[in-house]
Amino acid sequence: MTTPFDLRTRREGAALVVTLSGGVQIDQGDEFQERLLELLCGSAATLIIDLTRLEFMGSAGIAAIVAAHAKAAALGGAVHLVSPTAALRRLMELLRIPAVIPIHPTLEAAIRSVG
Amino acid sequence: MNVPAEFGVRDAQLTELVIPNELRAAREPGERILGELQRWGYAPDVVFAIKLALEEALTNAIKHGNRNDRAKQVVVRYFVDADRAIIMVRDEGPGFTPNAVPDCTADENLERPSGRGIMLMHAYMTRICHNQRGNEVWMFRDNRAQAPGGPVTA
């Protein structure tokens, strides 16, 4: 079974790198969204969300990322996604998320893009 | 509504769970059904598809059907064998009209906070049907079905 999501952050220039692992469980959508939005209340307006180790999320997780994207844009920043699993990438493509939020193959590529 | 005849099982073969109308309580049917999928050796991408569809159905039932009313309940019925997984989720709400849900992939809806669940259930399961009232969804997943819930290549 997938474990509940874990979220860790570190500063990378003007951006905050958010590393996720585990899975966003059915009852964790609100908590996931609150955690992302809280990060944008600090000094960072740009989040680089590393999905490499995130095993699962449904539409509640996607909605949280979209909400963070909207808030970041309002603050003059952006949300960038990094290396989702094949299943999560397919999910995001199905929902046309890449049309509004960039997805990078590696963390280095995402950091360079916000440079 | 009984299990649709084309799903190929009898009503008596389904296991039923009744849970309180809380997202935390919705973990139990998920764990039970995922346990069955693993017992039958479903591939990880098919497990992902069924887990996703189940979560969307349960979330819709709890939040939209029962409107987060803790006095209400959600009924889950399921059947899993080597060939198929069948899941029913029913709430106590007034129901809805599936065709009236806006297209979440239209440009103007891409950044909306909600409205993706129904589309995902259709995308990841082989067959979806609702009762006439619209408060009960039946989902069928053929274990051999292909994309978008089919085999994933890295």
Report chain A residues whose CB lies below 8 A from the CB of B113. 63, 66-67
Say yes or no for a CB contact (<8 Å) between B22 and A27: yes
User: Of A11-25, A27-41, B45-59, B98-112, which gets the smallest average pLDDT?
Assistant: B98-112
Q: Which pLDDT value is given to residue B133?
A: 93
Give, in degrees to the nearest 5, the angle at Cα B17 between B13 and B20: 165
Q: What is the mean pLDDT of residues B102-113?
A: 79
| Pairing outcome for strands B15-20 and A103-104 | unpaired
pLDDT digits over A71-115, tens only? 999 999 999 999 999 999 999 999 999 999 999 999 999 999 997
* Mean pLDDT of the residues in chain B: 90
Query: Quick one: DSSP state of residue A4?
Result: B
Q: What is the pLDDT of residues A85-96, one digit of tens each?
A: 999 999 999 999
Contact B110 A26 (CB under 8 A): no
Residues of B with CB under 8 A from a CB of A: 22-24, 26-27, 30-31, 34, 44-45, 48, 51-52, 55-56, 58-59, 104-105, 107, 110-114, 116-117, 119-120, 123, 147-148, 152-154
Distance from the B91 Cα atom to the nearest Cα atom in chain A, whole angstroms: 17
A91 to chain B, minimum CA–CA distance in Å? Answer: 8
Q: pLDDT per residue over B117-135, tens digit each?
A: 899 999 999 999 999 999 9
Q: Report the b/e string of A71-102 with b at 16+ CB within 10 A.
A: bbeeeebbbbbbbbbebbbbbbebbebeebbb
Give me the sign of the Cα torsion angle B52, B36, B41, B6: negative
CB contact under 8 A, A1 and B119: no
Number of CB pairs, chain A paired with chain B, less than 8 A apart: 75
